[in-house]
Structure 1
Amino acid sequence: MGGNQVERYFIKLWGVPTLQENGQSRALSEILGKQLTELLCYFLIHRGELVSHERLIELFWPESVNPQNALKFAIHRLRKCTQAYAETKDQEWIVTGSRGYLFSLQAPVDSDLHQLDILKPEALAEKPEWIETRVRGELMAGYSSLWILPLREFWKEKVITLAQDTAALLEQNGKSEAVLRITQWALALDPYSDDLNYRYLSELVKAKEYNRALKHFDQIYERFYHEFGVEFEGRSKSLIYFLSSERESTHTIQELIEEMNAQEDGTAFFCEQPVFRKLYQARMRESRRLDINSYLLVLDVQGVSAELANQATDVLIQIVKNQLRSCDIFTRTAACQLAVMLMLSAEQDVHKVVKRLSQRLNHKYPTTQVRIYYHAQKIEQPSSTSAV
């Protein structure tokens, strides 16, 4: 890193970490090497926050024989590389604090994360293309340290929320094409988001672009099934089914009977909460009258970030549907929670079911990122309080 003229420098963290100087761009790893790039990015992401020696050693030198020396040497090298970008001591990038270090607020450098952090939907609605040029790929592309993963999910969720809020504002102002553009862009970041797909499809339906909506859903459905081996579910699927049914011709009673008598698909039945409540009440009456053992199972999905937990819940819906039987019924009771009615002979079978579902989910999301917690209770008359 070189140059004597002090100016506002820019570090791009979205995509490959890059330094922009005098209209020129250069990957930080070419200047600092991979470890110092990670260290600088960590400081920059937590700009103004004091990071303790212990925290830095835990993240960057957990197995070092002499971590204190390794830390001091890395800070020395980092300061030496950034000296050319600070005219005075107040402008130094890395500052020593009490038992730690921090990236100075006075350092003459800006970043794309700072710009995104202060960006409001009102400003983005005026110039939606702004975010398209700045957010491409993933945060710190090419780096996979454990501390990066939750931050990557946090910022992806933040950007998607910003895009959704902007789309809602554009929709209020009747700017349909702008809504489609920013929603389609956000889907490149999270193609299986049910909320994003629902908004995008709703806008297409509103514009009467039915074929385009059906084609988009078919593509998402096929990609999801190919990647996860299960069907894509949610509000967007319900919208497409409604659209498809509106475009179909009426049936005779014989045609309907034949359709109803068709072979059962063997998958668990997903329904909305009001329907689930009615079916639960019916199952409760059946359990007493027919001596059937049924259990209510509540599955809570927890992840290293809310966005990751939400995504994992979407995948869990497909797993539940395909792993359980047609006599089992389930619904989504919250963003990261499912309720399931299971027809089982014994309590220990409930634990086996949860174990099987967890193993399937952890094929996609390791236990270090996502876990399933559960509660179960036998379905019987309200006076009973027995629980599994």
Structure 2
Amino acid sequence: MSPLPDFQALFRVSPYPYLVMDLELNIIGVNDAYLRATGRIEGDLLGRYVFDAFPQNPDDPDSTAIEEVRSSLLYAIESGQPHTTAFLRYSVPRETAQGKVFDERFWSTVHTPVKGADGKVAFVAQNAIDVTDLYRFDRTSHVAAVETAPPARSVADHFTHAQMHEAMSRIINEERSHLRNLFNQAPGFIAVLTGEQHVFEMVNEAYYQLVGHRELIGKPVWQALPEVQGQGYEELLDRVTSTGEPFVGRGIKLRVQPVAGGPVSERYIDMLYQPVFGNDGKAIGIFVQGHDVTDAVTAQFAQRESAERLSDGMNAARMLVWDWDVASSRMDFLDNAALVLGRSENNIDLMSQSIHSEDAARLIRSRARAIADKGGYQ
């Protein structure tokens, strides 16, 4: 049987910088690459609380992102999952003949929890890659930007370039992951369609909730959603692609089958089809965004139906309802005023001309008394 590899030796000679901490964030291990990256010695770090070993710069507290690192470490310990701080500014202390100075540095860092035999997190490892040479920092705006002309390096420094490439990839992947999370968590449905066949390239969770969890990515719309054909959406998509003009629709009916073999569901959506243009100015895809407004539309239908039933009942009973603005004498009738009274005016004095003079006089007195007493009259 082959002997087990010496993992301690592997840890020690790894070209990637690693710092190992216990659950109280005391340093229990550090490899040579980490010591080289930070300019420290092992005896100065082992056994120390990590933020005592790498303290805040008192002259520039913002240059040392202690809270961001602490939050990342605690998240890794509590969740049992690795956590990345894709890019952070963290100055490193260095002893000189004149005393302690802080070198401004930028890092791409991953904190990885390591579990013991009992399945619980036993310690956490920090992999920190120095990406300082990839950035220039503007002290006025406090913004770091990618360095477009990095300093020349010798052959001996080629591996540092590989580390930097990995760090940049990590940063880009982290940003993509963040954007993907935002995309999936958006409250409205979103999809990206490409080409003349309107092939699904991206779809968020809200879109799946609308149409059902089925295979969409890589399929043309009409292959992925066959039940939607014939509802007018083909013409809308083709028109947006051909004209390059967006389409906005509100309360559009959509019949969709969320479960294969199940019933077709009737939904109502507010929707935007926004063309996506290529370098030649032609539409190469469509960004779809919208909201399922079925509940609101259904409520409007119910309210409208209720109002229609009320109107039919009032017409049958020859009943009339109006609002009267006492100060201006303006009256606002329901639509059945002409049906019940034979006329419809927007002024109470004009309407009173239709009443017999004796009845009108009695009505005016009753009305005046009700107003004075803040009561009602019949």
Q: Point out the structure with max Rg over C-alpha.
A: 2
Q: Which has the higher strand share?
A: 2
User: What TM-score results when the alignment is normalised by the length of structure 1?
Assistant: 0.25
